[in-house]
Chain A
Amino acid sequence: MSQNTETDPVQALPTATEDPPKKRSLQLVWIIPIVAALIGGWLAVKAVLDRGPEITITFRTAEGIEAGKTKLKYKDVDIGLIKHVVLAPDRQSVIATAELAKDTDSMLVKDTRFWVVRPRVGVGGVSGLDTLLSGAYIGMDIGKSKDSQRHYTGLESPPIVTAGLPGRQFVLNTAQIGSLDVGSPIYYRRILVGQVTGYQLNPNGKGVTMNIFVNAPYDKYVTLNTRFWQASGLDVSLDANGFRVRTESLASIVAGGIAFQEPNDSSDTARAPENAAFRLFSDQVLAMKTPEADAETFVMFFQESLRGLSVGAPVDFRGIVVGEVKSINLEYDPKAKNLLFPVEVSIYPNRLKARYRKGASAPVDARDDKHHKVMDALIDHGFRAQLRTGNLLTGQLYVALDFFPTASKAKMDWSESPVAIPTTPGSFGDMQNTAASILKKVDNIPFDGISQDLRKALQNLDSTIDRANRLVDRLDGDVATEAAKTLTQAKATLATAQQVMVEGSPLQQNMSSTLQEVRRAAESLRNLTDYLERHPESLLRGKPEEKP
């Protein structure tokens, strides 16, 4: 180590430069653990502060839900994570525990809803495609309630209407749901304005109650008088009115749908309140019909066959549909020992009223005396019901009301209920009767005698022809020779005539010289007329002297 050669090598070593003794500050290095502690503490505090509320959601199945991976999203913002998924104690469902971000307590209220967003393909469209790759997540809709809640039951399908969507909800009552389903479209004048949000069978099992949502601003068209009907699928009908195909839109053919509108004569435009209940009619025609309450029931007894008359067939007054057939029955009349076919019809006097009481302002009570008098008067004038063929192709019948002045006298019995309207045999029955009588007459024609006479006549004709033949034979013998002679003479005469007419013959020459003379005469006549035209005075004064 040392290069020195002295006895004490230590003394030969150089002495270090002295340093003024200074107090080393040891505090500086302690900053590091303090900073580390601060950072660690801050992280811990932050972790505690960031810890949001924990909720449990019950689902029917954990399909697509993965503990530690499945997120909770509201409007596509991550607000939580599923921490673990366990089976419910009854093994009927799964319970997912989710940890939410902080400050989400206000979102966790009673009517907050959760559902699993998975890819869905329906007639109405495709949704959740992004989850094909990213995996399902839990969707969330924040409710409006103030009551806090931590345990939820997840929806099986995404809700149609999320909170905050402007519009109103209504309730529809119907006998059967048809092809409708949650999410079925609702149309107003063929514009898509809403969706079916849910349905449930009535507790007694009779009928279905549906909830629908109509988006703003279309919800204002739902008035108290609005009629709803099923626009589901394709409505093909064949009746006395002919063949009809009705549909709302292509999508509704497949998916079903509901349409609404208010009747044309509606004057009540008050907006329906939220959750107002309406009846859902099975088709537009039914929906638009005047409500049953206004209808008056009559009965008609027809003598002819009712084949082709169906319930719902129109009752027509000179082309105006005023009612419809309600029922067709069979009745035994013990007094007359006869079978009767009462046809019950509903007639809407309101449709008639404007027509037979022109200018009448007060609504007519169908049961008052005035009305009875009017009807009696009409019957007196031959007002009758008649069955007519509406459609020759299908043989459908309808009930026609019309005046038949020749009809036998009848009277209405107002004490009966329903009142019977007198009938007259229908056009179809008439036709049948006429045809029968024609056939009877045809039947009476003595075809045997006619054929004998015919044979006799034919024999006579035969002999006549024979005689004619003989006559012709005689003509052939006698007349033909005479005729030949005559023809020879005629030929000679014609030859002579030809000689006379030939060119250069004396007759011809005379003819041509005569024609020349005539031409000259015509020329001088022309000269004269020309002159006279130029000098008309010469007629009076004579021809003036020629000037030399």
Chain B
Amino acid sequence: MTTARRMRLAGCHECGQLSRLPQQHGHCPRCGAALHFRKPASLARTWAYLIAAMILYIPANTLPMMITGSIVGTQSDTILSGVVYLWTSGDWPIAALVFFASIMVPLLKMIAILLLLITCQRRSRWQPQQRIKLYRLVEFVGRWSMLDIYVVTILAALVQVQSLASIAAGPAAVAFAVVVVLTMLSAMSFDPRLIWDPLDDGQEQTGEPHESEH
């Protein structure tokens, strides 16, 4: 199956204009947006964001997420200690929810991107259908992974009774937010067409018609 890249055609990301692109880079003749066959340096960017996210994932989990001050003293909780507290105090569903939303989801997201990156880098032809589904899932989940940050910011804004009780976001909140943003950026900079490129190299047919635009 022929592809747009082989025919030297590229669609504009912004106005949708299909145009011929003799070189690797150019500009849309209609709107002037940058044109390219594949996202430039997609793998490198994805790698960079992913590595940064992975590094910051460590402080996000070890530093205190929320600092609760009240007349009975201040208490700082990491995400995990909060989960443990919820679990031991009997709120199992909430503990499970927080655990999945705050610990498992970012972790799985990073593992998924890592998997995609490695397979693409090695030009693997393994399970492209499953991998694109995985990519869609990562994209979809990305927008929900800021749950913790919402909770902390809402609580910090609501609970400010000065000396009686106050809640402040800890350093982990920043790290966690950065991790989420970085994983989203990482997922965004990944070009899913790279999954199909190895198949194209071998001239093999797949049931799925290839779109030049995503």
Contacts and interface: CB of A to CB of B under 8 A. Distances in A.
A364 interface: no
Interface residues on A, range: 20 to 34
Interface stretch (B21-29, B121-129, B139-147, B153-161): B21-29
B58 A16 contact: no
A37 B175 CA distance: 12
A32 B7 CA distance: 36
Interface string B1-39: 000000101100000011111111111111010110000
Interface stretch (A18-26, A267-275, A322-330, A420-428): A18-26
A17 interface: yes
Interface in A13-46: 13-19, 21-22, 24, 26, 29-30, 32-33, 35-37, 39-40, 43
B55 A16 contact: no
Contacts of A32: 48-49, 52, 182
A16 B63 contact: no
Contact of B19 (A13, A19, A134, A135): A13
A37 B51 CA distance: 9
B187 to A, nearest CB: 15
Given A18-B26, A35-B52, A69-B73, A13 B18 contact: yes
Contact of B28 (A16, A18, A33): A16
Interface in A41-78: 43, 47, 69, 71
Contacts of B18: 1-2, 13
A495 interface: no
B45 interface: yes
Interface string A235-270: 000000000000000000000000000000000000
A262 B21 CA distance: 111
Nearest to A71: B73
Contact of B26 (A1, A17, A24): A17
Contacts of A121: none
A37 B55 contact: yes
Contacts of B45: 29
A21 B56 contact: no
B211 to A, nearest CB: 12
Contacts of B24: 21
A15 B22 contact: yes
A14 B23 contact: no
A2, A33, A69, A135, most chain B CB atoms within 10 A? A33
A133 interface: yes
B32, B41, B75, B171, most chain A CB atoms within 10 A? B41
Contacts of B25: 19, 21-22
B44 interface: yes
Given A134-B71, A135-B73, A15 B52 contact: no
Nearest to B10: A16
Contact of B41 (A14, A29, A35): A29
Interface in B177-205: 178, 182
B59 interface: yes
Contact of B55 (A18, A19, A36): A36
A14 B22 CA distance: 11
A10 interface: yes
A36 B75 contact: no
Given A32-B48, A40-B55, A17 B32 contact: yes
Contact of B59 (A33, A43, A71, A135): A43
A29 B9 contact: no
A21 to B, nearest CB: 6
B36 to A, nearest CB: 9
B19 A16 contact: yes
B27 A40 contact: no
A35 B27 CA distance: 33
Contacts of B53: 36
B73 A17 contact: no
Contacts of A43: 59, 63, 171
B56 A16 contact: no
A39 B59 contact: yes
Contact of A18 (B9, B10, B23): B23
Interface of A: 1-2, 10, 13-19, 21-22, 24, 26, 29-30, 32-33, 35-37, 39-40, 43, 47, 69, 71, 133-135
30 contacts: A1-B18, A2-B18, A10-B7, A10-B20, A13-B9, A14-B19, A14-B30, A16-B27, A16-B28, A18-B23, A19-B23, A19-B25, A19-B26, A19-B27, A21-B23, A21-B24, A24-B41, A29-B44, A32-B48, A36-B55, A36-B182, A39-B59, A39-B175, A40-B56, A40-B59, A43-B59, A69-B73, A134-B71, A135-B72, A135-B73
Interface of B: 7, 9-10, 17-30, 32, 34-35, 40-41, 44-45, 48-49, 51-53, 55-56, 58-59, 62-63, 71-73, 75, 171, 175, 178, 182
9 smallest beta-carbon distances between A and B, as pairs: A16-B26, A36-B52, A33-B52, A33-B51, A17-B27, A14-B29, A36-B55, A40-B55, A29-B48
Given A17-B29, A19-B27, A39-B55, 11 more contacts: A1-B18, A14-B30, A15-B19, A16-B19, A16-B21, A17-B28, A35-B52, A36-B178, A39-B56, A43-B59, A43-B171
